[in-house]
Structure 1
Amino acid sequence: MITFSDMKDAGRLSVSDALQSLTGNSFGATLPSSGSGAQSQSTINLLGIGSGRTLVLLDGKRLAGSPSLGGSTANLSSIPAAAVERIEVLKDGASAIYGSDAIAGVINVILKKDFEGINFDMSFGRPDADGGDTKTMSFTAGVSSDKGSITFVYDHQEQGLISDSMRDYTSASMVDKNGDGIISLADDTVGISKYGATIINPITGKKEASPICDQLAATVPGFVGAIDQGTWEGGIGGGEVCGYAYANVSTNSASTKRDAVMTSMDYEILDDVEIYARAMFSKNESYGQYAPAAANWDGIPVGNEHNPYNVEIKGNFRWYGIGPRGTLIEDYQQDYIVGFRGMLADSVEWEVSYHRAKLDYHDTGRDYLSYGGLYYNLANDISLGTDEGQANMSLTTYRKNQNVFDHIFAGAGFELGELSGGMISHYVGIERYETQYSSTFDSQSEAGLVGGSAGNSSAGSRTNDAYFYEISLPVTEEILLSGAYRYDDYSDVGSKGVPSFKVEYRPMDDLLIRGSYSKGFRAPSLDELLGQDSFSATFATDYNACKAQNIELNKCAEAQYDNTIKSNSNLKPETSTYMNLGVVYSGIEDLTVKLDYFDVEVEDVVADITVQDLMYAEFGGVLDKLLTNYPTLSYERDQNGAFSENIVTTSDNGAVSGRTGLDLRANLQTRN
Structure 2
Amino acid sequence: MMNRKSLSRNPLSFALASVLVLGASASAYAQDSASSTQTAEEAAKAKATNLEAVTVTGSRISRDVFNSVSPVQVITREETTLAGFQSTAGVLQSTAVTAGAAQINNAYGGYVTNGGPGANTVGLRGLGPTRTLILMNGRRIAPAGSRGSVGATDLNVLPDAIVDRVEVLKDGASSIYGSDAVAGVINIITKSKIDGVTFEARQTATDGGGGEERRYAIVAGKTGSSGHISGSYEYYNRDALTLNDREWTRCNTDYRRLPTGGGWGGADTIDPLTGQPKCYPITGTGSNGVTINTIGTQNLTGVAAAGARGTTFNRWRPNSAVSTGLVGFEGVGGGQTTNSNIRDTFDPRTLNRSLISGAETHTAYLQGGYDLGFMGDAEFYGELLGSRRESEQTGYRQLSLDYLRGSPLIPANLASSNFGGGVGVRAFIGFGNDKSSQKVDFFKGTAGVRGHVSDTWDYDFYLSHARSDADYTMQSFLTDRLNQSLRVVSNGAGGFSCVDPSNGCVAAPRLTSAVIGGELPRDWVNYVFRPVTGNTLYTETTANISFSGPLFSLPHGDVQAAIGAEYRRAKIDDTPSIDSINNNLYNLTSSTPTRGKDAVKEVFGELEVPVLSGVTGAEELTFNASARWTDYDSYGSDQTYKIGGLWTPVSWVSFRASYGTSYRAPALFEQFLGATSGFLSNQVDPCNTWGNDPGTPLARNCASEGLAPDFQATQSVAVIQAGGAESGLKAETSKNFTGGIVLQPETPASWGDFSLAVDYFDIKVENGVSRAGGANILDLCYNSPDFRDGGGFCRLVDARNPVNNALTVHDSYVNLANDNVRGLDYTLRYTRDIGPGALRATAQLTRFLEQSNKLFQDDPLIDYNGMLNTPDMTGTLDVVYSWDKWRVRYGLEWINAMQSYDYYELDPATSVYKFDVASYFLHSLSAEYKADTWSVIAGVRNLRNEEPPVISSGAYNRVGNAPLYSGYDYVGRTYFVNISKSF
Give the direction of change, closer, same or farther, for the CA distance of 1:664–1:176 in structure 2 (3 Å limit): closer
Q: Give 1:285 shift.
A: 1.1
Following superposition, the deviation at residue 23 of structure 1 comes to: 4.7
Does residue 348 of structure 1 match 2:483? Answer: no
Shift in Å, 1:298: 5.1
Alignment partner, residue 666 of structure 1: 828
Paired amino acid for 1:212: R
Check the 8 A contact 1:214/1:226 in 2, yes or no.
no
- Matches of 1:353 and 1:468, distance apart in 2: 16
| Aligned mate of 1:597, from 730, 738, 760 | 760
Match of 2:680 among 527, 537, 558: 537
Q: 2:110 aligns with which of 8, 12, 35?
A: 35
Q: Which runs of 5+ in 2 are unaligned?
A: 1-73, 259-265, 283-288, 301-311, 321-329, 489-495, 497-506, 510-519, 614-619, 703-711, 832-839, 841-880, 884-983
Q: Given the alignment of the two structures, is residue 421 of structure 1 paired with residue 556 of structure 2, yes or no?
A: yes
- Name the structure where strand makes up a greater proportion of residues: 1
For residues 237 and 444 of structure 1, the distance between their equivalents in structure 2, rounded to whole angstroms, comes to 38
CA deviation map 1:303-356 (0-9, x unaligned): 6369675224468876544x4111121111111000000011212210110001
Contact 1:159 1:255 in 2 (8 A): yes
Distance verdict in 2 for CA 1:502–1:195, change over 3 Å:
farther
Conserved 8 A contact 1:195-1:316: no
Q: Could you say which residue in structure 2 is the equivalent of 1:120?
A: 199
1:383 maps to 508
2:214–2:236 CA contact under 8 A, matched in 1: yes
* Letter of the structure 1 residue corresponding to residue 721 of structure 2: I
After the TM superposition, which of the residue ranges 106-115 and 174-183 deviates more from structure 2? Answer: 174-183
Once superposed, what is the RMSD of the aligned Cα atoms?
3.6
Larger mean Cα displacement after TM superposition, 310-319 or 528-537: 310-319
CA shift, 1:251, in A, is 0.7
Does residue 47 (structure 1) correspond to residue 121 (structure 2)? The answer is: no
Contact 1:231 1:546 in 2 (8 A): no
SS in 2 for 1:463: strand
Q: Which SS does the other structure have where 1:451 is aligned?
A: coil
Q: 1:181 to 1:59 in 2, by over 3 A?
A: closer
- Counterparts in 2 of 1:127-526, with a 5 A limit? 127-174=206-253, 177=256, 178=258, 179=266, 182-183=269-270, 190-192=280-282, 193-197=289-293, 202=298, 210-212=315-317, 241-244=343-346, 247-270=350-373, 272-291=377-396, 293-294=397-398, 296-297=400-401, 300-301=404-405, 304=410, 310-313=417-420, 320-321=430-431, 323-366=432-475, 368-380=476-488, 381=496, 382-384=507-509, 385-451=520-586, 453-454=588-589, 455-477=591-613, 478-526=620-668
Distance 1:649 1:516, change over 3 A: same
Partner of 1:222: none
TM-fit CA distance, 1:591: 4.4
Residue of structure 2 equivalent to 1:580: 738
For 2:878, the equivalent position in structure 1 comes to none
Structure 1: gaps spanning 5 or more residues: 216-224
Moved more, 191-200 or 13-22: 191-200
TM-score using structure 1 length: 0.87
Aligned 8 A contact 1:122 1:138 in 2: yes
Contact 1:132/1:162 (8 A) holds in 2: yes
| DSSP-derived class of the 2:106 partner | coil
Over residues 64-109 of structure 1, what are the superposed CA-to-partner deviations in whole Å (9 max), with x where a residue is unaligned? 0124373421111101211211111001001111111111100001
Give the distance between the partners of 2:335 and 2:388, measured in 1 at CA: 46
Change (3 A) 1:31 1:226: farther
* Secondary structure, counterpart of 2:812 in structure 1: strand
Change (3 A) 1:195 1:301: farther
1:88–1:609: structure 2 CA closer, same or farther, 3 Å change rule?
Answer: closer
Deviation at 1:163, TM superposition (A): 0.5
Aligned-pair distance for 1:584? 2.4
Aligned to 1:61: 139
Looking at structure 2, the residues matched to 131 and 64 of structure 1 have their Cα atoms a distance apart, in angstroms, of 32
CA-to-partner distance for each residue in 1:422-455, whole Å, 9 max, x for gaps? 1111111100001111111111122222136433
> Which residue identity is paired with 2:362?
D
* Higher mean C-alpha displacement, 526-535 vs 55-64: 526-535
**Residue type matched to 1:373 in 2?**
R
Residue type of the alignment partner of 1:30 = I
Deviations 1:373-403 (A, max 9, x none): 2212211342333222222211101121111
> How far 1:496 moved relative to its partner?
2.1
> Paired residue for 1:552, among 695, 700, 723?
695
Q: Retained in 1: the 8 A contact 2:170–2:184? A: yes
Please identify the structure whose Cα radius of gyration is greater.
2
Deviation at 1:119, TM superposition (A): 0.5
Pair 1:83 & 2:158 matched: no
CA deviations on 1:133-182 (whole Å, 9 max, x unpaired) are: 11111111111123121002111111111102222443333467435684
1-structure distance, mates of 2:657, 2:612: 17
CA-to-aligned-CA distance 1:500-532 (integer Å, 9 cap, x gap): 111111123343211111111322111111111
1:257-306 Cα offsets, whole Å, 9 max, x none, are: 11111111111101521110011111111111111x34554565456369
1:372: Cα distance to partner?
Answer: 2.0
In 2, Cα distance between equivalents of 1:184 and 1:581: 57
* Partner amino acid, structure 1, of 2:630: D
Identity of aligned residues (%): 21
4-13 or 381-390, which moves further after superposition?
Answer: 381-390
Q: Is the 8 A contact 1:403 1:438 kept in 2?
A: yes
Shift of 1:666: 3.0
Asked whether 1:567 is paired with 2:723, we answer: yes
Q: Is the 8 A contact 2:297 2:315 kept in 1?
A: no
**Are the aligned partners of 1:87 and 1:108 in contact in 2 as well (CA < 8 Å)?**
yes
SS where residue 476 of structure 1 aligns?
A: strand
* Cα distance between partner residues in 1 of 2:474 and 2:462: 39
After TM superposition, the score normalised by the length of structure 2 is 0.61
Identify if the C-alpha distance between structure 1 residues 282 and 103 changes in structure 2 by more than 3 Å, giving closer, same or farther: same
Q: Aligned partners of 1:358, 1:563: CA distance in 2, in Å?
A: 31
| Residue 98 of structure 1: aligned partner | 177
- The 3-state SS of whatever aligns with 2:639 is strand
Q: Decide whether the 8 Å contact of 1:284 with 1:331 is kept in 2.
A: yes
Counterparts of 1:519 and 1:324, CA distance in 2:
49
Contact 2:771 2:813 in 1 (8 A): yes
Amino acid in the other structure paired with 2:740: G
Amino acid at match of 1:432: Y
Contact 2:133 / 2:184 at 8 angstroms: preserved in 1? yes
Structure 1 residues 23, 583: CA separation in 2 closer, same or farther (over 3 Å shift)?
A: farther
The offset of 1:357, in angstroms, is 0.7
Alpha-carbon spacing, 1:203–1:228, altered in 2? closer, same or farther (3 Å): closer
Query: For the residues of structure 1 that align with 2:178 and 2:335, how far apart are their CA atoms?
Result: 50
Report if aligned partners of 1:210, 1:242 keep a CA contact under 8 Å in 2: no
Task: Please name the residue that 1:219 is paired with.
Answer: none
* CA-CA distance at 1:417 after TM superposition: 2.6
Q: How many residues align?
A: 652
Q: 1:446 to 1:432 in 2, by over 3 A?
A: same
